[in-house]
């Protein structure tokens, strides 16, 4: 058994936390970019685009995230794509986040009165201009609370990437626990770190919810 002091354990866990944070940021940003495209498909005028968007969301919301990560990490190499744990984790969480963010934003778009679309049309704006200048700014404003709430879920979901070998917080904790045999200390600190990361965001989401404009 390797001798680790409490501060040794904490220092190593905090060092690993940076990868958890980086993965969360990359997945949320990538999910927002892809989710915006899926949102456009979901609210498009063409039925086949709406069906595609609905199918995409149903696929990623209706299957376990762990299975999606397995398909990225073990499935893509079978198709000839060499992929590292970091890439598989980032892709898996990006697609997962995009489905949820697209659906959150779709709810915001549909919550707006039809008069908002009519107002844009009366100003001579075409469809994309209406979306960019009138609809999406309002939809994003009223869906910020659930979007921030989803970020909390995404941060916690990064723990699943330890299964495919990504060296984030939980995988590092497992390695330290195997060396020290101090599960209460190690996993107690992991829980505390996740709490410190997520609790402020949870409170911020509640604050945004109280301040959200009524429609």
CA–CA gap between residue 9 and residue 19 (Å, rounded): 16
pLDDT at 45: 87
In CATH, which superfamily holds the domain spanning 6-211?
MetI-like (1.10.3720.10)
Look up the pTM and report it: 0.92
Token match 């905090």: residue? 14
Pairwise pLDDT comparison (109 vs 211), residue with the higher score: 109
- Structural tokens at position 15: 């060092």
The pLDDT value given to residue 171? 94
Parse the chain into domains and list their residue ranges: 6-211
* CA–CA dist 38, 5 (Å, integer): 49
Condensed to tens digits (0 to 9), the pLDDT of residues 141-186 reads: 999 999 999 999 999 999 999 999 998 999 999 999 999 889 999 9
Q: Give the CB-side neighbour count of residue 15, counting CA atoms within 13 A.
A: 10
Alpha helices per DSSP H over the chain? 6-42, 47-61, 65-70, 76-78, 85-111, 114-122, 127-130, 136-142, 144-157, 169-180, 183-211
- Could you read off the pLDDT of 92-131 as tens digits, one per residue? 999 999 999 999 999 999 988 877 776 776 777 777 888 8
Q: What is the pLDDT of residue 129?
A: 81
pLDDT for the residue numbered 131: 82
**Residue, of 209 and 47, whose pLDDT is higher:** 47
Those residues whose C-beta lies under 8 Å from the C-beta of residue 156, and which sit 6 or more positions away, are 194, 198
Contact at 8 Å (CB) between 27 and 93?
A: yes
């Amino acid at each position: 058994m390797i001798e680790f002091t409490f501060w040794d354990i904490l220092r190593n866990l905090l060092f690993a936390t940076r990868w958890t944070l980086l993965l969360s940021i990359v997945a949320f940003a990538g999910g927002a970019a892809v989710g915006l495209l899926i949102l456009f498909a979901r609210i498009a005028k063409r039925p086949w685009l709406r069906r595609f968007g609905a199918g995409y969301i149903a696929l990623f919301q209706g299957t376990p995230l762990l299975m999606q990560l397995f398909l990225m990490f073990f499935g893509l190499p079978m198709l000839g794509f060499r992929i590292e744990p970091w890439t598989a984790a980032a892709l898996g969480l990006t697609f997962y986040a995009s489905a949820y963010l697209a659906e959150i934003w779709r709810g915001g778009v549909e919550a707006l009165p039809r008069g908002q679309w009519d107002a844009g049309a009366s100003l001579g704006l075409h469809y994309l201009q209406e979306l960019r200048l009138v609809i999406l700014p309002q939809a994003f404003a009223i869906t910020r609370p659930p979007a921030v709430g989803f970020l909390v879920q995404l941060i916690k979901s990064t723990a699943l990437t330890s299964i495919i070998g990504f060296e984030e917080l939980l995988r590092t904790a497992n390695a330290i626990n195997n060396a020290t045999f101090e599960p209460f200390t190690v996993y107690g600190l992991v829980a505390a770190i996740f709490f410190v990361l997520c609790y402020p965001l949870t409170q911020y989401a509640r604050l945004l919810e109280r301040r959200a404009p009524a429609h």
